[in-house]
Structure 1
Amino acid sequence: LIKSVVMGFDKEDAVAIENAQKLLNDNNLELNLTFIKANYGNLAKYITTLETSGLSLADAINIIAQVQNEIGTDNSSIGKSTKKKLDAVIEKNSGFKTMKHISNILEGKATSRNNTISEELT
């Protein structure tokens, strides 16, 4: 339905229409969308959950861990690259490390600051 509507537009009217028509004529589009849905379809659900008001820090950290685990199950080159990028982003994010450590303290899993929490936050 969407394809027939977009294909009905005159590609001379806008570059965006021409680009959309080219994409819709790409034979790999359906396969690529299927791959994305199969391997990353749960991300929208996780994002919506993370946006929930009143979500505890521990629950938010657990959701991120769950995303990391799920993304790690795709063994394709795209999946490995995505997993590597996600791990690198999380590793570089000192704020996330701090929140994770605070969550561990609140849950009784850690008993010291371990220099991950600045003096300003204590």
Structure 2
Amino acid sequence: MGKFKLGNWAAMIGMAACWCLIAGGIMGIWYERRYIAIYSICVGGVLYPLLYPLSFLGPLKAIFHQYYVAAALMAGLSVLCYFLVPTMLAAMVMDISAVVFLISAIKGERGDFFDKQD
């Protein structure tokens, strides 16, 4: 059976959370707390390229090569999204991604998300 890295799964879950943030933010524009909706759209738009395997963002992606920092960042950015109903699902998905990043950091995984592991 092939080996897999949990960092890959955490990045994929994080990318799904970014899409949920953008969609929930668009729906949240019609609620009272529009600033949370705008925040979630911005966070989703900024995090997605950092989690997606783009080569030209090399120095910026170094944050997510350290899985402890990635876990703290994902968990910290999700807090405000719990205060608006359309963005709650995205916040939960971001927290799941943070937990998976933390587990992969505890296991001692290193490197880029989508490196092949032998």
Higher RCO (Cα < 8 Å, 6 or more apart): 2
TM-score range, shorter chain: 0.3 to 0.5
Q: Judging by fraction of residues, say which structure has more helix.
A: 2
Q: TM-score, normalised by structure 2?
A: 0.39
Q: TM-score, normalised by structure 1?
A: 0.38
Larger Rg: 1
